[in-house]
């Protein structure tokens, strides 16, 4: 099973600041099989990024994704009040299994 | 506009079977998409339960697989989850989701439409 380790567990930032969230995979993950989700309290997760760096229609361009080897990064260039939430990375592997990272909470400083 | 809605009992007794249904609106479940279940224990992260494909083929989380049954009901445009021999550790919010898996390049895999979730408590 591929383990995804997200860091930090909590990120305390102010609106307007830049957020950098990390997701490290225990084995190689196909770029096309890595996604990011945003979850607010009491809500279902929302797809933010798929294929490591592709934004679905309607997702603002302040959200971006990138990778370097087994390290994946979600960047929010300028935090808006509505961006304070928990973020999860997710991968799909060759055995057709899915795993999620433990999540990073972005909270208001 | 595709939407998903979970339904089922909110309370299940230990050792019994948790049965949930996800009703899909706006799309036939026999189209090319796949369908999945994900859960979230109170205060915890997301855990993938399994996927069911339009052919009826299933892929389960290995840690749950021996207790799981997932299936499609094409006549009702629904898919279902049965989790047997539940314990308190199975308490949480259960989500159904549409899974996009492209077999041809670029081979994307992601879950793009989610239900609102249904809370299940395992308790006597």
- The yes-or-no verdict on residue B31 having pLDDT over 90 is no
Place of tokens 């934004």: A55
What spatial distance separates the first Cα and last Cα of chain A, rounded to whole Å?
35
Neighbours of B34 (CB within 10 A): 21
B16/B32 Cα distance (integer angstroms)? 33
Percent of chain A with pLDDT over 70: 100
Inform me whether the pLDDT recorded for A20 exceeds 90.
Answer: yes
Q: Is the pLDDT at A28 greater than 90, yes or no?
A: yes
pLDDT, tens only, B35-80: 999 999 999 999 999 999 988 899 999 999 789 999 999 999 999 9
Q: What is the pLDDT of residue A12?
A: 97
Residue of B nearest to A45 (CA): B114
pLDDT for B33: 78
Compare all CA atoms of chain A with the CA of B111 and give the residue at the minimum distance.
A47
Identify residues of A whose CB sits under 8 angstroms from chain B CBs: 1, 30, 32-33, 35, 37, 39, 43-47, 50-51, 54, 56, 88, 90, 92, 96-103
Judged by DSSP in three states, B35 sits in strand
CB-nearest to B62 from A33, A35, A97 is: A97
- Tokens 């390290």, residue located: A71
CA distances from B67 to A103, B3, B38, B73 (A): 26, 28, 15, 20
* Gap between the Cα atoms of B88 and B41, Å rounded: 10
Beta-carbon-side half-sphere exposure of residue A41 (alpha carbons within 13 Å): 5
Beta bridge partners of B109: B101
Name the residue facing A51 among B46, B61, B108 (closest C-beta).
B108
Q: What are the backbone angles phi and psi of residue A83, rounded to the nearest 5°? A: -90, -10
CA distance A105 to B61: 25
pLDDT of residue B55: 85
Determine the pLDDT at residue B102: 85
Interatomic CA distance for residues A24 and A11, integer angstroms:
17
Confidence (pLDDT) at B18: 98
A83-103 in b/e form (b: 16+ CB < 10 A) is bbbbbbbbbbbeeebbbbbbb
pLDDT tier, A56 (very low <50, low <70, confident <90, very high otherwise): very high
- The answer to whether the Cα torsion of B115, A72, A57, B110 is positive or negative is negative
Contacts of A43 in chain B (CB under 8 A): 116
Q: Rounded mean pLDDT of B93-106? A: 91
**Mean pLDDT score across all residues of chain A:** 97
| pLDDT bracket for residue A85 (50, 70, 90) | very high
Q: Cα–Cα distance between A12 and A27 in angstroms, integer?
A: 29
> For residue B109, which residues of chain A lie inside 8 Å, CB to CB?
32-33, 35, 50, 92
| B110 vs A35, A44, A99: nearest CB | A35
Asked if residue A71 has pLDDT above 90, the reply is yes
């Amino acid at each position: 099973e591929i383990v995804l380790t997200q860091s930090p567990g909590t990120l305390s930032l102010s609106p307007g600041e830049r957020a950098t969230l990390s997701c490290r995979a225990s084995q190689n993950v196909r770029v096309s099989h890595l996604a990011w989700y945003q979850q607010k309290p009491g809500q279902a997760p929302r797809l933010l990024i798929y294929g490591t760096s592709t934004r679905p229609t309607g997702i603002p361009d302040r959200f971006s994704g990138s990778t370097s080897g087994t390290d994946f990064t979600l960047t929010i260039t300028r935090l808006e009040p509505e961006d304070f939430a928990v973020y999860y990375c997710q991968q799909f592997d060759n055995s057709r299994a899915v795993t999620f990272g433990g999540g990073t909470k972005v909270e208001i400083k | 506009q595709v939407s998903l809605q979970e339904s089922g009992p909110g309370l299940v007794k230990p050792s019994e079977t948790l049965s949930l249904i996800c009703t899909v609106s706006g799309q036939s479940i026999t189209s090319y998409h796949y369908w999945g279940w994900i859960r979230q224990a109170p205060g915890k992260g997301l855990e993938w339960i399994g996927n069911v494909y339009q052919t009826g083929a299933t892929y389960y989380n290995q840690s749950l697989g021996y207790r799981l049954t997932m299936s499609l009901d094409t006549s009702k445009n629904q898919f279902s989850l049965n989790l047997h021999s539940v314990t308190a550790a199975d308490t949480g919010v259960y989500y159904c989701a549409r899974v996009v898996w492209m077999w041809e390049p670029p081979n994307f895999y992601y879950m793009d439409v989610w239900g609102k979730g249904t809370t299940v408590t395992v308790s006597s």
